[in-house]
């Protein structure tokens, strides 16, 4: 930290202890400038607790980072990504201006760097995705309470995964419906087929497949809250003869199926488990079976934003396509189609964020402010990450190597209804 300071500045550091207010102010501003440089000098300003503003006066800022005390400033400098999340959640840091716009700008300027020493430590202490660890990690995120998610996800399907906007003017509900149709068409679902779903969330897709495509679905999930909700809805919708929800891990899937589908699970199971997932699919998929995996991904192997991984999604690790192939290649599955829906996820998150912000006042009796602000940041930050291109959304369609029952073009995906 001292290496690029001249003798005068080093003298200032010494004076720091002496309480010379003017020198302390200069040091704070110097730290703030250093922070701006550390995050790639985006067009933003930093407003300190004493309302002094730091930033390039030549550039019109898109927003200001309000930092409410010196500890927050110093820890931000040590690890901007992680501590921005921490301090924004607690209210020690705030954004004056448009939060998603600010985050998008910062994402575009952030230097592409690899793990810091701190992240290495965090890595070591993180629990692995063992069966019990997986249950704990998922509980952390998905068992917060269904009422929380109901306030900002699509209803009644409750899909906490990327929607599909063939027309960007679609509502969230329309786009989530279009997503389910898109997946079912890719899989060429036919009435009477047996489908297994790994990681079924609140069961929206499982019930949709049974209702709209007449298939029989067995859907697995380790979240107790979600399975309870999914079963209840299936009863209400009189689908229990065609949809079975099982509170169990994907590793325990058995039986034989025409179709395997998994939407939004792969990014949570850990890359070390991909080969095992492939073995599970290989065990249960029929000779002319098809499968689809829908997952958050990366352009290259990399870690998730450290704060999101620690506070929001413990154990999550979105794969690059080469990593994802570990599911398929050992078993010679044939990849038929990969579609990247990155900008659809940015739009999905925009809808979620709007609804979330409209409901924030409702959460106050059940959750504390740190939780509520943290979730707002997470949704806005994820939107920015998909907009800036640091995160991807892959849908991968695959089959057995010798399955020649394939359409001659993908036009069947685009023939009827708008998609």
Residues that bind a copy of itself (CB under 8 A): 108, 112, 165-168, 299-301, 320-322, 325-326, 328-330, 332-340, 342-344, 387-390, 392, 401-404, 406, 408-411, 413-414, 419
Nearest to 46 by CA among 33, 59, 58, 30: 33
Per the CB < 8 A criterion, the answer to whether 270 and 317 are in contact is yes
CB of 331 to a copy of itself, least distance (A): 8
Identify which of residues 214 and 301 has a Cβ nearer to a copy of itself in the complex. 301
Identify which of residues 89 and 399 has a Cβ nearer to a copy of itself in the complex. 399
CB of 354 to a copy of itself, least distance (A): 19
What backbone phi and psi angles, to 5 degrees, belong to 52? -70, 140
Beta strands in 75-116, from DSSP E residues, in sequence order: 93-97
CB of 19 to a copy of itself, least distance (A): 47
Identify which of residues 226 and 387 has a Cβ nearer to a copy of itself in the complex. 387
Identify which of residues 69 and 299 has a Cβ nearer to a copy of itself in the complex. 299
CB of 412 to a copy of itself, least distance (A): 9
CB of 196 to a copy of itself, least distance (A): 22
- Work out the end-to-end distance of the chain between its first and last CA atoms, rounded to an integer number of angstroms: 54
Identify which of residues 133 and 166 has a Cβ nearer to a copy of itself in the complex. 166
**Cβ-based neighbours of 226, under 8 Å, separated by 6 or more:** 142, 143, 146, 200, 201, 202, 203
d(CA 254, CA 274): 17
CB of 198 to a copy of itself, least distance (A): 21
**Torsion 90-96-101-104 (CA) sign:** negative
Identify which of residues 115 and 389 has a Cβ nearer to a copy of itself in the complex. 389
Nearest to 79 by CA among 110, 56, 102: 110
d(CA 213, CA 193): 9
Q: Which helix (H) or strand (E) holds 167?
A: none
Identify which of residues 193 and 399 has a Cβ nearer to a copy of itself in the complex. 399
CB of 398 to a copy of itself, least distance (A): 9
CB of 70 to a copy of itself, least distance (A): 35
Identify which of residues 321 and 360 has a Cβ nearer to a copy of itself in the complex. 321
d(CA 108, CA 91): 24
Strand 53-54 with 93-97, pairing: unpaired
Beta strands in 118-181, from DSSP E residues, in sequence order: none
CB of 73 to a copy of itself, least distance (A): 29
Q: How many Cβ atoms sit within 10 Å of the Cβ of residue 62?
A: 17
CB of 399 to a copy of itself, least distance (A): 9
Angle, helices 274-284 vs 321-328, to 10°: value is 40
Per the CB < 8 A criterion, the answer to whether 399 and 289 are in contact is yes
Q: Is 203 left (phi over 0), alpha (psi -120 to 50) or beta?
A: left
Identify which of residues 14 and 418 has a Cβ nearer to a copy of itself in the complex. 418
Identify which of residues 163 and 234 has a Cβ nearer to a copy of itself in the complex. 163
DSSP character for 255? Answer: S
Identify which of residues 45 and 176 has a Cβ nearer to a copy of itself in the complex. 176
DSSP track, 390-411: SSEEEEEEEE-TT-----SSGG
CB of 406 to a copy of itself, least distance (A): 6
Distance of CA 38 to the CA centre of its chain: 25
């Amino acid at each position: 930290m001292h290496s690029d300071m001249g003798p005068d500045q080093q003298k200032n550091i010494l004076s720091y202890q002496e309480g010379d207010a003017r020198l302390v102010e200069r040091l704070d501003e110097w730290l703030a400038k250093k922070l701006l440089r550390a995050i790639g000098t985006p067009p933003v300003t930093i407003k300190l607790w004493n309302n002094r503003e730091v930033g390039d006066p030549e550039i019109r800022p898109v927003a200001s980072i309000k930092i409410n005390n010196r500890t927050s400033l110093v820890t931000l400098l040590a690890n901007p990504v992680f501590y921005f999340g921490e301090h924004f959640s607690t209210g020690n840091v705030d954004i004056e201006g448009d939060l998603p716009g600010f985050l998008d700008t910062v994402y575009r300027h952030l230097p592409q760097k690899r793990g810091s020493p701190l992240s290495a430590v965090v890595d070591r202490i993180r629990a692995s995705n063992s069966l019990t660890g997986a249950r704990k990690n998922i509980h952390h995120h998905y068992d917060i309470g269904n009422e929380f998610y109901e306030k900002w996800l699509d209803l009644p399907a409750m899909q906490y995964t990327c929607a599909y906007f063939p027309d960007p003017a679609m509502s969230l509900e329309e786009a989530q419906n279009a997503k389910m149709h898109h997946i079912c068409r890719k899989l060429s679902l036919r009435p009477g087929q047996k489908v297994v779903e790994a990681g079924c969330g609140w069961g929206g897709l499982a019930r949709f497949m049974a209702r709209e495509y007449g298939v029989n679905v067995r859907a697995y999930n380790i979240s107790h809250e979600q399975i309870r909700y999914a079963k209840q809805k299936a009863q209400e919708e009189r689908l229990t003869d065609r949809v079975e929800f099982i509170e169990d891990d994907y590793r325990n899937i058995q039986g034989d199926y025409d179709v395997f589908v998994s939407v939004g699970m792969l990014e949570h199971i850990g890359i070390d488990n991909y080969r095992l997932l492939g073995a599970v699919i290989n065990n249960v998929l029929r000779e002319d079976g098809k499968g689809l995996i829908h997952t958050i991904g990366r352009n290259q192997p990399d870690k998730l934003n450290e704060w999101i991984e620690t506070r929001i999604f413990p154990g999550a690790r979105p794969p690059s396509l080469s990593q994802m192939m570990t599911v398929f290649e050992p078993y010679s599955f044939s990849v038929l189609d990969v579609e990247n829906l990155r900008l659809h996820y940015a739009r999905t998150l925009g809808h979620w964020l709007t609804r979330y912000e409209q409901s924030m006042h409702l959460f106050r009796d059940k959750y504390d402010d740190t939780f509520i602000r943290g979730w707002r940041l997470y949704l806005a930050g994820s939107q920015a990450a998909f907009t800036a291109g640091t995160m991807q959304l892959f849908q991968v369609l695959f089959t057995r190597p010798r399955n020649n029952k394939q359409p001659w073009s993908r036009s069947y995906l685009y023939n009827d209804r708008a998609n």
